Amino acid sequence: MVCEAFGVRPRRYDRAMVHVAPSGTESARPFLPALDFARSKAFYEALGFVIELDDDDVAIYRVGSTSFLLQRYYQKEWAENFMMQLLVDDLDAWWAHIASLDLPEKYGVPEPKPPAMQPWGLRISYLVDPTGVLWHVAQRRPAVAHDL
């Protein structure tokens, strides 16, 4: 099988083929576009994301256990259809922080949306970065396994 060529051994459970990733896999980090690299970096730093690498063409940001790579690359259709979700323990604290930053005035972004319960069961605040990436800042639900 192709997966065996890459070191992944399929296992059978109840007639279904299950593939197990090799151990030691830690995270998957998306690459976010930046129309204005310097402005995007300043935006994420204002939000409190910690910069771990700052290179000419890429910057790595972390908040909690989440990280992403901001890149000096822009494609309008991709950027304006890209979304990120940030699950947080205290959405009200995050909203107070976001609202205090005056993001539209400082970074030319749309006004962030305050927290609201969504029909699918998550309470979410929305904000858009300077490139057009939509962020869903969502309240983690402790009793829901995929929110942990």
- Residue carrying the six token digits 């995050």: 94
pLDDT digits (tens, 9 = 90+) for 47-74: 999 999 999 999 999 999 889 999 999 9
pLDDT digits (tens, 9 = 90+) for 89-122: 999 999 999 999 999 999 999 999 999 999 999 9
Domains and CATH numbers, the chain: 28-147 (3.10.180.10)
pLDDT digits (tens, 9 = 90+) for 71-83: 999 999 999 999 9
Q: What is the pLDDT of residue 13?
A: 52
Q: What is the pLDDT of residue 1?
A: 45
